[in-house]
Amino acid sequence: MAKEQYNASSITVLEGLEPVRKRPGMYIGGVDTKGLNHLVYEIMDNSVDEHLAGYCSDIWITLEDDGSCTVRDNGRGIPVEMHDKGVSAERVVMTTLHAGGKFDNKAYKTSGGLHGVGSSVVNALSNRFVIEISRGGKVYRDSYAKGQPTTRLIKGLLPEVGTSRQTGTMINFVPDDTIFEKTRFKADAIKSRIHETAYLNPQLTIHYENKRKGEEEKADYHEPDGIDAYIRELNTGKTVISPIIHYSGKSDDVEVEAAFQYVDAFEENILGFCNNIFTQEGGTHITGFKTRFTQMINTYARDLGILKDKDVPFTGPDTRNGMTAVVVIKHKEPIFEGQTKTKLASADATKAVVAVTGEELTRYFDRNVEVVKAVIGCAEKSAKIRKAEEKARTNMLTKSRFTFDSNGKLANCESRNPEECEVFIVEGDSAGGTAKTARKRRFQAILPIRGKILNVEKATIDKVLANAEIKTMINTFGCGFSEGYGNDFDITKLRYNKIILMTDADVDGSHIDTLLLTFLYRFMPELITDGHVYIAQPPLYKAIPAKGESEYLYDDKALEKYRAGHKGSFQLQRYKGLGEMDADQLWETTLDPEHRRLKLVEIEDARMANEITEMLMGSDVGPRRDFIYEHAGEAEIDT
């Protein structure tokens, strides 16, 4: 391979990708592990686009032992021919932002907002980026470092490195460790995303392999039953009370496909996708589905005489209680908005989903009246409970508004700027007391809670809302809550940018974390999805050497390392609980933003969120605790 060579075209190249290196967050959402994983998704999405165009049946994704990732497909291969700009088209694609549109006439691009902005972004953010294209009987190779070409072109074209009877594209890349906080891809999240992609593309097979030492694993993802299989998986372990209902159609230029099923549960779980992108924040397609569905159930309920003239109609949430649904649309030019650009804004999506749902679902319900009756049965049950709970709710809200702050438990901070404010939920009055002394009063608030909070999953809503600890939390955060039947949640009213759970580093402590997270996940899920919830990491030990400075050790690995690296004797102090630290120690180790460790609690995608719910809501405590710790962003050190 030629050494680095710069010519006129590589200068434009540099300028082309500079914005990405300057502001990586704008292109991949962030430089944390989530952003890192995005690199894989960007490359994978391009191969999926090639599948959608009808040319690629298989994608191979490998986490290599050297820390790189390889994505290979059997599509047509990225064009290598001479481009107007005087270099191979591949060069132009890999070094220009948003290139691709010019070469492809693909029906649906996954790109939109944060997504699929393309391989050039990954190239810009990789220490090494190698691409091999099999096309027209030959294999071509190109390579880059931090977005700059490291392969010498021959008369502007890529060197040939072999012959092949197949076609396809292979990309291998190593993320840039000067850009990303960590460069270890999260295998679980990637597998999850691959599986999701397989559900949404029933003709596609994705071969996953992890070759990293100690984690070796291989799995093929192929889901010929598509979103029906997705629903089946989402509902695993639940009692189903309807068949899976599936319909699809096209309206104007928008393709719509949906599947749903009722289970014996008290939530709705509706996942939306647009062009293979999970729309975490919902949007116009979901609105269309809900609106038309509510109308329809009310119409059938009247027609069947279940709702009488004097009866008020079912509310939307009534009709969807216990529903698991996947709503998928394909749109030529989707518009995304919202905090994370995962909310579909295209108005014609509503129209299309309304039209297709109206037409296709009516056809289905007319032929399957017993299914409509089952759905209406669920709605009736829900309406009844809703009315009872509305009462409990009103009582709770009117009472609690006036008790806020008067119980004196919350030690609030002085600042009223949520951006800088943090609230620590501290286990126990004694640790709470120390924390109140230790904190920086200006921006840190302390809310002590006593013992184990109520397990919200095992209690009815009126019990939940009567619970003192829960009431205090709702009032403290200031943003209300959402639950099954009503939604008073308003994230703009959140008083603290960070909600930090601070419990003992023992079994009881993590049990309390679990209960708190269950509560937050069920009543204020946006706090988690928007990245406001953290788990404080108090140290486990303090090593006090005979000579030199003491050191806090946060886990057993750190202790091992200390033992290995430390010559001479030292005394080891083990912290059993927060209560054992004095105010100075607590500040230094756990409160001080400069030195503390926080774990960000995160949920990356729909499947992950669902798995987490399962774990959180299940009654088996062990796996829940493990799961939370596994999925709390790996010791993201917060500065």
Q: Which residues bind ligand 0RA (CB under 6 A)?
A: 46-47, 50, 73, 75-79, 103-104, 169
CA distance 561 to 285: 52
Nearer to ligand 0RA, 99 or 231 (CB): 99
Residue closer to ligand 0RA by CB (options 124, 413) is 124
Concatenate the DSSP letters of all residues of 335-379 into one string: -EESTTS-EE--HHHHHHHHHHIIIIIHHHHHH-HHHHHHHHHHH
- Please tell me the distance from the alpha carbon of residue 576 to that of residue 11, in angstroms, as a whole number: 59
Residue 422 designated active-site: no
| Closer of 49 and 318 to ligand 0RA (Cβ) | 49
H-assigned helices in 114-176: 119-124
Rounded least distance, CB 194 to ligand 0RA, Å: 16
Beta strands in 468-626 (DSSP E): 482-483, 486-487, 498-502, 533-536, 541-545, 551-553, 570-574, 598-600
Q: Which residues pair with 88 in a beta bridge?
A: 82
- Given its phi and psi angles, is residue 608 left (phi above 0), alpha (psi -120 to 50 degrees) or beta? alpha
Q: Which of 251, 213, 481 has its CA nearest to residue 359?
A: 251
User: In the annotation, is 427 catalytic?
Assistant: yes
* Euclidean distance between CA atoms 293 and 260, whole angstroms: 11
Neighbour tally for 76: CB within 10 Å? 19
Question: Which residue number, 79 or 478, has a Cβ lying nearer to ligand 0RA?
Answer: 79
CB of 93 to ligand 0RA, least distance (A): 7
DSSP 427-468: ESHHHHHHHHHHS-TTTEEEEEE-SPPP-GGGS-HHHHHH-H
> Measured in Å, how far apart are the chain's first and last C-alpha atoms?
41
Kindly report the backbone phi and psi dihedral angles of residue 623, in degrees, each rounded to the nearest multiple of 5, phi listed first: -60, -30
At its nearest, how many Å lie between ligand 0RA and the CB of residue 63?
Answer: 18
**Smallest distance, ligand 0RA to C-beta of residue 172, A:** 13
List of residues 6+ apart from 459 with CB closer than 8 A: 467
Of 233, 508, 530, 634, the catalytic one is 508
Closest to ligand 0RA by CB, 193 or 320 = 193
Catalytic residue among 65, 311, 506, 630: 506
Specify the DSSP element, H or E, that contains 226.
helix 226-234
Q: Is 360 a catalytic residue?
A: no
Phi, psi of 263 (to 5 degrees): -125, 165
CB of 488 to ligand 0RA, least distance (A): 45
Residue in 473, 625, 599 with CA at minimum distance from that of residue 534: 599
User: In the complex, what is the shortest distance from the CB of residue 60 to ligand 0RA, in angstroms, rounded to a whole number?
Assistant: 12
Q: How far is the CB of 120 from ligand 0RA (least distance, A)?
A: 11
DSSP, res 574: E
Residue 103 or 562: which CB sits closer to ligand 0RA?
A: 103
DSSP 147-164: TEE-S--BTTBPPEEEE-
The residue among 110 and 280 lying less far from ligand 0RA, judged by its C-beta, is 110
Q: Which of 42, 268, 504, 605 is catalytic?
A: 504
Active-site hit among 268, 318, 427, 611: 427
Contacts of 161 (CB under 8 A, 6+ apart): 132, 139, 140, 141
Task: Judge residue 252's burial from the number of C-beta atoms within 10 Å of its C-beta, 0-12 exposed, 13-18 middle, 19 or more buried.
Answer: exposed
Please classify residue 309 by burial: count the beta carbons closer than 10 Å to its beta carbon, then call 0-12 exposed, 13-18 middle and 19+ buried.
exposed
Q: Minimum distance between the CB of residue 71 and ligand 0RA, rounded to whole angstroms?
A: 8
Nearer of residues 110 and 298 to ligand 0RA, judged by Cβ: 110
Read off the tokens for 23. Answer: 């502001």
- Annotated active-site residue 405? The verdict is no
Minimum distance, C-beta of residue 553 to ligand 0RA, in the bound complex (Å): 46
* Bridge partner list, 260: 245, 325
> Which 8-state DSSP code applies to residue 314?
P
Rounded-to-integer distance, Cα 326 and Cα 269, Å: 8
Decide whether 131 or 326 has the Cβ nearer to ligand 0RA: 131
| Measured distance CA(541)–CA(344) in Å, rounded | 48
* Least distance to ligand 0RA, CB of residue 95, Å: 14
CB of 160 to ligand 0RA, least distance (A): 17
Report, in angstroms and rounded to the nearest whole number, the Rg of the chain calculated over CA atoms.
27
To which residue do tokens 């994978």 refer?
Answer: 44
Q: What are phi and psi of 571, to 5 degrees?
A: -100, 140
Select 75 or 432, whichever has its Cβ closest to ligand 0RA. 75
Q: Residue type for 162, please? A: G
Which of 42, 318 has the CB closer to ligand 0RA? Answer: 42
Active site amino acids: 427, 504, 506, 508
